[in-house]
Amino acid sequence: MTVSLSNALRKTHLASFFRSKRCLLQIIADLDENNQAYLLGFVYCSQLREARQVRFYVDTGSTVTTLLDIDVVRLGLKWQGLEQTKCDTAAGVIYPYILPRVTVFLKNIVDSKVILNAYPLKTIHLIPPEDPTKIVPIQYEFCFSLLGMDVLEKFSDLKFNFKEKKMYLIT
Amino acid sequence: MMKPKEQARRKYGMPLLVHKNRVNPELEKELLAKIEQLEKEYLWISANEKSLKRTHLDKYIAVKNNQVMFESYDFEALLKVIIASKENVDSFAVKRVTKDTPCLLL
C-alpha cells in the first residue's frame, strides 16, 4: 500500500510541489461529483464504547467539527442534557449541542507511510434530527458530517487537484 | 499481568493513545484497514452512480463488498435492518441515491 501510494504520488505534478516545499504530505481526501472533498475518519468520545466511523466533508465554512443528523443517530449519541450554543449559518441561526472531549482520528501519510493520527478536540457540535418523536420517517438529508476549521487549522496548506479528484491537506 | 490501560482498552474498546497524537499500533492497523475498505465502497458507489439511480432511486443504500446489501426509503428502518442482521453498522458505506446531484450549502 505504501509503495503504490508513493508511486501514485511520483506521477502527479503535486509531487514536485511537495519536494520543492520539503513538506510532509498529510491527508488525501477524495472529491465527489460536486468536487467537494470528503474523507473517512473515526470519532471517539465518552459516550461511545469504541471509535466509530464517520464520513466527513471538508468544510472551511464550519468553525467547529459537527456531526449531522444521520451520524448522531447512527452513533447513538445522546444530545439531551448537553449544552447548546448559537451558530449563524447561511440558512439562519441554529442551536447545535456541544459534545465535550472528542477525538477525531484521520488517516495521515507521513513520508509515504500511512498512519492514523488523533486530533483531540475540546468540543464538537451535534446537530441531531429536528423532531425524533415524529411518527413519520424523518427524511435525513445528510449522510455525512463536517470537518471544521478546528481540525483544518492544524494544517498549513490545502491543495485541490480537480483532474485527479483529490484534495491534499499539508503540514 | 496486563497493564491497567491495556485492560481498559480491552474492556471498553478504547482507542488508546500511545503518544500525544499517535494511536496504539494494533488499533491503528485495524482502523486503517476499515477506512481502506470503506474508501473502496464509496468509490464504487461513485463509479456506479448511474445504475444505482436506475435501481435504487430515492433510497438509502448500505454498500459492502461492492454490493448493495440493504436499502430503504427510511434511514432508521435501514439502520434497524442492519442491526437485526447482526452486521457492523460501521462496515457499510451509506448513501442516499438522488435523481440529481445534491446541491450543498455548507
Contact criterion met (CB below 8 Å) for A2 and A114: yes
Chain A contacts in chain B segment 15-44 (CB below 8 A): 15, 17, 20-23, 27-28, 31-32, 34-36, 38-39, 42-43
Please give, rounded to a whole number of angstroms, the shortest distance from the CA of A145 to a CA of chain B. Answer: 10
ipTM of the complex: 0.77
In this model, does residue B29 exceed pLDDT 70? yes
Contacts of B93 in chain A (CB under 8 A): 55
Q: What whole-number distance in Å separates Cα of residue A148 and Cα of residue A169? A: 13
Report the domain count for chain A: 1
Residue B40 lies in a domain: yes
Chain B contacts in chain A segment 134-163 (CB below 8 A): 137-138, 140-141, 143, 146
Give residue A84's identity as a one-letter amino acid code.
Q
Residue B13 lies in a domain: no
Q: B7 falls in which pLDDT band (50, 70, 90)?
A: low
Residue A31 domain boundaries = 2-170
> What's the CATH number where A125 sits?
2.40.70.10
Residue B10 lies in a domain: no
Residue B102 lies in a domain: no
Contacts of A90 in chain B (CB under 8 A): 105
pLDDT tens readout for residues A9-27? 555 555 555 555 555 768 9
SS3 call for A15: helix
H helices of chain B, in order, are 4-12, 25-47, 49-56, 75-84
Instruction: Read off the pLDDT of each residue in A32-61 and give the average, rounded to a whole number.
Output: 91
In this model, does residue A3 exceed pLDDT 50? no
Residue B63 domain boundaries = 22-96
Instruction: Read off the pLDDT of each residue in A71-75 and give the average, rounded to a whole number.
Output: 90
Contacts of A41 in chain B (CB under 8 A): 35
Is the CB of B75 less than 8 angstroms away from the CB of A103? Answer: no
Task: Locate A33 and state its grid cell.
Answer: 461529483
- HSE toward the beta carbon, residue B5, CA cutoff 13 A: 5
Report the domain count for chain B: 1
pLDDT tens readout for residues B75-106? 888 999 999 999 999 999 998 898 877 777 76
Residue B79 lies in a domain: yes
**A110 touches B: beta carbon within 8 Å:** no
Residue B17 lies in a domain: no
Is the CB of B28 less than 8 angstroms away from the CB of A44? Answer: no
pLDDT tens readout for residues A126-164? 998 876 555 444 556 568 899 999 999 999 899 999 999
Chain B nearest-CA residue for A119: B21
Is the CB of B15 less than 8 angstroms away from the CB of A115? Answer: no
